[in-house]
Amino acid sequence: MRRAYKFLLRPTSKQVDALTACVEDHRQLYNAALQERRDAYRRAGVSIRYGDQSVQLKDIRRYDPDQGRWSFSSQQATLRRLETAFAAFFRRVKAGRAPGYPRFKGIGWFDTVEWPKDRDGCRWDSTPDDLTRVYLQGVGHVRVHAHRTVEGTVKTISVKREGRRWYVVLSCGDVPELVLAETGSAVGIDMGIASFLTTSDGAQISNPRHGRRNAERLAAAQRDLARKKRGSNRRRKARERVAAHHARVRRRRLDHAHKAALWLVRHYDIIAHEDLRIANMTRSASGTVEVPGANVAQKSGLNRSILDAGWGVFLNVLASKAESAGRVVVAVNPANTSRTCPDCGHCAKENRVTQADFVCVACGYAGHADVVGATNVLGAGLALLDA
């Protein structure tokens, strides 16, 4: 199977400068290739493809020393990235969707460089000492904080910039599958805001609310950014501080999602969850000038809480971990799962007395509303698997 590993880099100050220059030169190559394609079609009606631009790389490297110091293969990967963007553009045009013509990459919008093959301008674990390093042409041997063992064969190596941090991403093939022993248990989960997750067994995982906990510091950093003069070094540093706050929240949210998903995968063979349409759930309620929305402030706060919980991130992580471990994940229709009695099947909005209490008006069954919802999700998931 294929798996990706992401490790933090520990570059020296000179290596940081070299990595920054590498990303910048690849960005300029991307923009120049896009400019050439656009001008050729506008002026002569000629379509330029990846093969045409790849042939020109040798001349570019010969006459431009900045481009010539980097790996030829990594530059080809940048041109393929543009080719992929155009292929997606033509696919959307053919399907009648909004085309979305490829855009020029401004500073801060191009942060990844890929080396498509190990030992071709790059080399993983490139020194024999105890420190793990990655060799990158034009940068040198960079220390890596390898917090886990890399399994399989390294196929591609990418370097990614996130704020002030640099990461290396390894895409490995032939990774052995780690299938966990069967537990004989199945579970349904109910996603929420008061509690991040509630299982049909009654277990709950609290909602850490990372965004809300960091809101005051983020707001202070954004106010500080607003006072800075555009184009100044102080504004650049203030912008980096704002980005660092966002990155910290994103890392904590992802860490929480990994831990919750791992706990589920280790304890259950079948995991049923609601097929949530998060984009629809967090749509603005402001309406239009002619038809203004109602309860806009309340809906805005609810949207913020839903996005802060990170349901989408968690469900993606859960699906990935379940596939690696040989578990079954099934998504069910969430309609009326919190209003249906698991004992008699009666469905009514009056059954949900409060946010946490469920009392069936037909048979008198009482329980925690989130547990009832998770129980119904489990039943619907098992029914789908048996169908």
Q: Active-site residues: which are they?
A: 190, 274, 370
How many degrees, rounded to 5, is the angle at CA 57 between CA 51 and CA 58? Answer: 120
DSSP H or E run through 169: strand 165-173
d(CA 161, CA 170): 14
Instruction: For residue 282, report the phi and psi dihedrals to the nearest 5 degrees.
Output: -105, 20
Nearest to 273 by CA among 317, 315, 313, 324: 315
CA distances, 326 to each of 182, 278, 355, 376 (Å): 9, 26, 35, 24
Report which residue type is found at 252: R
Query: What tokens were used for 195?
Result: 């509690």
Instruction: Evaluate whether 186 touches 377 at the Cβ level (below 8 Å).
Output: no
Strand partners of residue 204: 198
Instruction: For residue 99, report the phi and psi dihedrals to the nearest 5 degrees.
Output: -65, -50
